[in-house]
Amino acid sequence: MNLNQITIPTKDMRRSVEFYQKMGHLLIVDSIPRYARFECRDGDSTFSLHHVDQLNSGESIVIYFECDNLDIEVKRLKNLGVSFDLNPTDQDWLWREARLEDPDGNKIILYHAGENRKNPPWRIATE
């Protein structure tokens, strides 16, 4: 199995579509105002937005997008007016990451982990 698609809830489809396009994702299905699908510019993954009348309260999903040039990508997005909750920071788990939220408050982490994403030094042995 391969995870290649997630769906993110939004109350304001047009605002969210604009936000994810600003991030650089390619809109490939436009069924606004109820649904939109994007292709990530790197790799083979897609994700979609679907309209909801009410967002869930409490913990939300966290969406991770890996960037080879994290600092440059954060600077590009800041120049487009995107706000970050955490600037690129080296983490104890050997990833460099920046944090922000989409217009509906879904948490987004832009990060660079390289080899450490799947093979950190503490990875358990597999057969």
The answer to whether residue 41 sits within a structural domain is yes
Domain membership flag for residue 109? yes
CB 38 within 8 A of CB 25: yes
The domain of 78 spans: 5-117
CATH (domain of 38): 3.10.180.10
| 95 HSE (CA, 13 A, CB side) | 18
Q: What is the mean pLDDT of each run of 10 residues along the chain (127 residues)?
A: 91 96 96 96 92 87 94 97 97 97 95 94 89
**39 within domain boundaries:** yes
Put residue 58 in one of left, alpha, beta given phi > 0 → left and psi -120 to 50 → alpha.
left
85-95 tens-digit pLDDT = 999 999 999 99
In a domain, 98, yes or no: yes
Number of domains composing the chain: 1
What predicted TM-score, i.e. pTM, was given to this entire model?
Answer: 0.92
Instruction: Kindly state whether residue 123 falls inside one of the protein's structural domains.
Output: no
The per-residue pLDDT for 100 is 98
Give the 3-state secondary structure of 56-103.
CCCCCCEEEEECCCHHHHHHHHHHCCCCCCEEEEECCCCCEEEEEECC
Give the type of residue at 110.
Answer: L
**Within a domain: residue 127?**
no
